[in-house]
Amino acid sequence: MIAAPLPAARFWRLSIAGAVSFLAVWSIAALSGITSREFLPAPWDVVDRFGQLLVQPFAGFVLHEHLLSSLKRFAMGFCLAVAIGIPLGLLMAWFRWVDRIVSPAFEAVRFVAPIAWVPFAALWFGTGIGGPVLIIFMGAFPPVLINTYRGAQQVDRKYIEAAQMLGASAFRSMTQVLLPAAVPSIVAGLRISAGLGWQSLVGAELIVASSGVGYLMVKGQAAVSTATVMSGMLAIGLVGLLIDVLLRRAQMAIERRRGI
């Protein structure tokens, strides 16, 4: 049984109460002396360090420059996944022989965790941009392809048959019938893809990068600065939340236009 959605006011009250409870437990643990503040900083220590990183370079750059470096890698890997995943998903849904050729290899590769590609990325690309882009692509690609394929397969065949009766070519049928009908499923897949791609990026930067938020966290660990590491985690969470909010708004706008 699916629970009914909470009223907006109650939802926000519960969300705020949960956040305050988490911060209270964290603060008590930091102040209790169970462990050194060096290893478990208080929330305000992390906020103070976050502010310092915005104006003081660490690991070569200030925090927003590390974020821009990470976002550049993310954009390249994510856009590559979208550029390949959507057309390939449509082709697999339209042509059975393409599905039979691609599916075995795809099903084998998609169960390999993106982080498992890190050794290959390091060997092939070193600390260049190609390594992180490859790892982001391997994280973001499967959800795009799967949701495009499933969305296209769920299109009512009568629309495709009507287009073919009017003389539409396979290309026009895919781009003007199949693709628009599959857009809600594709956008839902993009949200999943973006989340996995962003997580994969951070894992890649921990090993095969010389800038970015993940790299900042590695240097923070080396300097035994837990506040720096947690500031990087905070930046990762905030940017990830922003990406998801933007894609969620796009999904809601598309669903409203289609009356879903």
Contact criterion met (CB below 8 Å) for 144 and 217: no
CA 251 to chain centre: 15
Any idea how long the chain is? 260
Q: Where are the domains of the chain?
A: 60-258
List the CATH code of the domain at 60-258.
1.10.3720.10
Q: Which two tokens stand for residue 201?
A: 């990026």
- Between CA 153 and CA 181, with CA 196 as vertex, the angle to 5 degrees is 25
pLDDT by residue for the chain (260 residues), tens only, comes to 445 555 667 767 887 888 889 888 888 888 887 777 788 888 899 999 999 999 999 988 999 999 999 999 899 999 999 999 999 999 998 888 999 999 988 988 888 888 888 888 878 877 677 888 888 999 999 999 999 999 888 877 777 767 767 676 777 777 777 888 888 888 889 999 998 999 888 777 877 677 889 889 989 988 888 999 999 999 999 998 898 888 888 878 877 776 55
Q: How many CB atoms lie within 10 A of CB 236?
A: 20
Three-state SS for 126? coil
Tell me the one-letter amino acid at 115: I
* Beta bridge mates, 47: none
